[in-house]
Structure 1
Amino acid sequence: MSVVVVTDSSSRLPADVRRRWGIREVPLHILVDGTDLRDGVDEVPEDIYQRGDATTAAATPAELSAAYRQALDDSGGDGVVSVHISAALSGTFSVAAKTAADVGPAVRVIDSKSAAMGTGFVALAAARAAAHGSDLNAVTAAAESAVRRNHAYLVVQRLDNLRRSGRIGGAAAWLGTALALKPLLRIDDGKLVLAQRVRTASKAVAAMVDRICEIVGDNTAALAVHHVANPTGAADVAAALADRLPGCEPPMVTDLGPVLAVHVGAGALAVCVEVAP
């Protein structure tokens, strides 16, 4: 048997990747019109990011407990490593940590301090270590190493969703008066903060590509480009990164999913990068 890796649906790991590496997924929740919808399980309205009354919620203790107990059983007792969206952005990590404590010490919970494939890359690092036969401590260490090597940037087209969500740190003070700006945001120690004030969306996207290229430098890295209802913009960013970082594999391109879309709104573009050790 081997250690089993669990993550949540915000990680944006494609189903075929999860199957290949044996990664289990628990759903986060979208609450709209009095209905609780499970991300990745229930049908979610395509325009969910335009629903002003839509909110999100963490995975439930029951869902996490069931996933952990099944994974622990399937591991033959070798253990479980559970990787989740930043504790500063969601209550999922807190719920997961409490649930894991109830299940037992063979379940380790990791705060990815990121979101989308920033979380996904950490889960993948853990799953690869598990596939190579690493024990619970080594798989945990692989995940923690990946957390330190991850970076994420985001460009939003409108500030309304961010303002409603309240999930923004250092930029909160100027959001109310910065309507003419297209902010470049980054995730810093798990928090979404302002990286740069930019006057146009195109310049913000260019600045995001520049930042990623500076981070990678001459190293190799895994890259992912995300979007909300903006596949053309995502394709352009992916092409720019592939052109400027020829030593890296072409970026994975996926949508941000309904949970994250509720908070960042239509047109958003994001890049997550994991620099090789």
Structure 2
Amino acid sequence: MPAPSVAVVTDSTASLDPELAAERGLTVVPLQVVIGADAYDEGSAEATPERLAEALKEFRPVSTSRPAPAVFLETYRAAAAAGAEEVVSVHLSGEMSGTFESAQLAARQARNEGLRVECVDTRQVGVATGYAALSAADVADAGGSAAEAAEAAAARAAASSSYFYVDTLEYLRRGGRIGAAAALLGGALAVKPLLTIEDGVVSSLERVRTSGRALARLGDLAVAAAEEAEGPVEVCVAHLASPERAGQLADQLAERLAEQLDGREVWCTEIGAVLGAHVGPGMIAASVAPILR
């Protein structure tokens, strides 16, 4: 009996290049960014990282919004109409966004209509979610089921490490992604915070005095995570409105992790407007995703 055809869905915070997503057959559901009184789909011409960074610098009101369950349901129905027998839907941490909940609600309705949908809460954000979605696509391409693809995505996400530096904790505080006390403490000490994703939420990791030291430490943390993996890894450096510093870190990691990368390039990308709204201009992140066999 032939394996079922499996479609892979993710959301725009996975930070996948549109061409790569299309090449791998992934469907990307956009979150929305609200600038002033106007809401835009992430990835649209109106919701570019540049426009988002400009709005934040000008202290214009910026917020974000999850996709409605109806949007996911239509996505799942479209996958079925295109021939998919099952769907795996891979998303950012449910602790930080209602996106996963929307996917789950839509999945229940889709199952009532006869389409099996497996939802994955990666408990990650950004590129770590993207790597998980790509692992799901690998399994689907190899003829695996949606359940097997979901298991691969969850395992890849759990094995991944995400570290990031922000110029200020204020944007995370405004969005409710980190406690107000931490934001005030960071400002009072004029420190540069290093953060990580732990148990699906933003967690304070270390504090250093200068941005230069913060970026150096970010590199050390990424190298340690890659070496701990004891096998090949994929690495991404992401940023918002800081391409030069991100490029320098990516070059350094490419050199220091040449053996673990095994010929792969360090992916360097700018995050989208939704994640950018919560971290602010100047953010630099390093994600290390072990390649699981």
The interval holding the TM-score normalised by the smaller chain is over 0.9
Could you tell me how far 1:149 is from its partner in structure 2?
A: 1.1
Partner-residue secondary structure (3-state), 2:192: coil
- 2:8 & 2:166 partners in 1: Cα distance? 31
Does residue 82 of the first structure (1) align with residue 98 of the second (2)?
Answer: no
1:34 to 31, 34, 37: 37
- 1:108 & 1:82 partners in 2: Cα distance? 6
Partner-residue secondary structure (3-state), 1:178: helix
Q: Contact conserved, 1:81 with 1:109, CA < 8 A, in 2?
A: yes
- 1:154 & 1:76 partners in 2: Cα distance? 37
- Measured against aligned partners, the alpha-carbon deviations of 1:170-203 in whole angstroms (never above 9, x if no partner) come to xx53321221010000001211000111111111
Q: 1:83 to 1:17 in 2, by over 3 A?
A: same
Does residue 149 of the first structure (1) align with residue 159 of the second (2)?
Answer: yes
1:1-277 matched pairs, under 5 angstroms = 2-44=5-47, 45-46=51-52, 47-50=54-57, 51-77=59-85, 79-104=86-111, 106-168=116-178, 172-179=180-187, 180-217=190-227, 218-247=230-259, 248=261, 249-277=264-292
More helix, by proportion? 2
Which 4+ runs in 1 deviate beyond 6 A? none
Could you tell me how far 1:112 is from its partner in structure 2?
A: 1.3
TM, length-normalised to structure 1: 0.94
Could you tell me how far 1:204 is from its partner in structure 2?
A: 1.1
Q: Contact conserved, 1:48 with 1:262, CA < 8 A, in 2?
A: no
- 1:106 & 1:211 partners in 2: Cα distance? 39
Could you tell me how far 1:73 is from its partner in structure 2?
A: 3.0
Partner-residue secondary structure (3-state), 2:144: coil
- Measured against aligned partners, the alpha-carbon deviations of 1:214-251 in whole angstroms (never above 9, x if no partner) come to 11114210111100000001101101110110020221
Q: Contact conserved, 2:9 with 2:29, CA < 8 A, in 1?
A: yes
Q: 1:76 to 1:38 in 2, by over 3 A?
A: closer
Partner-residue secondary structure (3-state), 1:254: strand
Q: Contact conserved, 2:35 with 2:60, CA < 8 A, in 1?
A: no
Q: Contact conserved, 1:88 with 1:113, CA < 8 A, in 2?
A: yes
Could you tell me how far 1:127 is from its partner in structure 2?
A: 0.4
Q: Contact conserved, 2:118 with 2:147, CA < 8 A, in 1?
A: no
Partner-residue secondary structure (3-state), 1:183: strand
Return 44-53 or 176-185, whichever deviates more.
44-53
Partner-residue secondary structure (3-state), 2:40: strand
- 2:36 & 2:256 partners in 1: Cα distance? 45
How many residues are treated as equivalent by the alignment? 274
Unaligned runs of 5+ in 2: none
Could you tell me how far 1:43 is from its partner in structure 2?
A: 1.3
**Letter of the structure 2 residue corresponding to residue 10 of structure 1:** T
- 1:19 & 1:229 partners in 2: Cα distance? 25
**Letter of the structure 2 residue corresponding to residue 67 of structure 1:** T
- 1:250 & 1:237 partners in 2: Cα distance? 13
Could you tell me how far 1:17 is from its partner in structure 2?
A: 0.9
Could you tell me how far 1:42 is from its partner in structure 2?
A: 4.7
Could you tell me how far 1:102 is from its partner in structure 2?
A: 1.3
